Amino acid sequence: MGFTIICLQDVHWTRDSDHIYYSEWGSDLFFSPFSSNARGVAILIDKKCVAKVLQVIYGQDGNYIILVIDIKGFTFNLVNIYGPNSDSSGFYDNVFSESFGIDCDFNIFCGDWNLVQNFVLDCDSYENVNNPNAQKKLIDLKQESHLVDPWRTLYPQTHQFTWRRRTPFRQARLDFFLVSENLLSFITDSNILPGYRTDHSIVVLDISVYNIKHGKGYWKFNNALLQNNDYINLINTTIDQCVLQYVATPYNRDSVLTIPRGDLHFIIDADLFWETLLLMIRGETIKFSCKMKNENASRERENIVI
C-alpha cells in the first residue's frame, strides 16, 4: 500500500496556531516556523505511512527542517528547504553540514530553493542570474555529496518551470528534489503538476520503497519487449539522449554519436552515468509498457460483439 509525505515551504505558520494544523491534517506533522507573514517549512506524513520518526531538527528562521525516518529498516534523511533570497552560500554550507552529519542510508533534499541549477534550461525571461553565489555553492555541494536531480535525470532537455510571475513575466524551475545516487534505481517517476492558489507548481517524486532491499537493488526487466521494434528504437534514442546530456564539452555535439561509446568521456563518473541511464530507460520502459497495455485493452473492447 502506498503512502504520501508532503513537504511545504513558505507556510507562514506560527506555534500559536499549531493545534489548528494538527487537527486539520489528522496525522503526523512537523514544522519549523518563523512568522505569520514570512517563511516556515512543514512536513506532513499521512496515516498509511509505515515510517518511524527517529529525529527532528528544526532549522533557524523557518528556512529548513530535517526529518530522520525509518522505513522497513532503512534510514531516510528528509530535508525540506525554503532557500533564502539573500544569495548566501553559507546557508547551504550549514544545511548540508548538519544533514550529512546524520548517519543514514538515503538523503532526500527538496523544497523551494529560490535558485536554479541550470541558467539555460531552468529560466525563462530572466535578465539577471538569481542568487549566483548560492547557486554555485549548491552545485558544488551537490557534486561533492553525490546527489542527483531525479526530474532532470528523467527529462534532460525539457523546459518546464515550477514558479511564474505575470508582471514582469518570468518563470523558473525553483522547486526540485536532490537525492542520493543510490536511491535512483528505486525512483519510478517524477512530475511537475499545477498548484492551487499559488504561483508555484507541485513537484512529485515516486519512490518504490517496498522494493528496496538490503544489499544491491535490482530491476526486473520484461525481456519480451526486446522483440518490439518500436521499443528498441525508443531505448536507442534514450541512450543517445543520455550520452548527449552528459558527454564532456570538448566534443562536437553534431558528431558525438558517431564516436565509439568506449572512447567518450563524460562530465559525471561511470557509476553515476550508468545509474542515470538505467533510470531513464526504466522510466521510458514503464511509460511504453503502460501505453501497450492501454492499447491492447482498447483493442479487446473493440473486438467485443454484443
Question: Using CA atoms, how far apart are residues 155 and 160, in angstroms rounded to an integer?
Answer: 9
Residue 22 annotated to the active site: no
* CB-based contact 21:14 (threshold 8 Å): no
Question: Using CA atoms, how far apart are residues 57 and 20, in angstroms rounded to an integer?
Answer: 22
Query: Pick the catalytic residue: 28, 93, 200, 251?
Result: 200
Q: Is 214 annotated as a binding residue?
A: no
Q: Which of 208, 145, 211, 219 is nearest to 180 (CA)?
A: 145
Q: Is 46 annotated as a binding residue?
A: no
Residues 6+ apart with CB under 8 A from 158: 121
Residue 82 annotated to the active site: yes
Query: Pick the catalytic residue: 10, 92, 112, 122?
Result: 112
Q: Tell me how far CA of residue 203 lies from CA of 111, 173, 254, in angstroms.
A: 9, 10, 33
- State the cell numbers at 233: 528504437
Q: Tell me how far CA of residue 289 lies from CA of 130, 160, 184, 284, in angstroms.
A: 40, 25, 20, 9
The sheet that has 106-112: what strands, in order across it?
Answer: 52-58, 64-71, 74-82, 106-112, 175-180, 147-148
Residue 206 annotated to the active site: no
Query: Pick the catalytic residue: 64, 82, 92, 246?
Result: 82
Q: Is 222 annotated as a binding residue?
A: no
Q: Is 271 annotated as a binding residue?
A: no
Question: Using CA atoms, how far apart are residues 242 and 268, in angstroms rounded to an integer?
Answer: 11
Chain centroid, CA 286 distance in Å: 18
- Residue 142 sits at φ, ψ, to 5 deg, of -60, -45
What are the DSSP E strand ranges found in 10-105? 28-32, 41-45, 52-58, 64-71, 74-82
DSSP 253: T
Chain centroid, CA 185 distance in Å: 13
* CB-based contact 236:284 (threshold 8 Å): no
Return binding residues for Mg(2+). 112, 114, 199-200
Residue numbers annotated as active site: 82, 112, 200
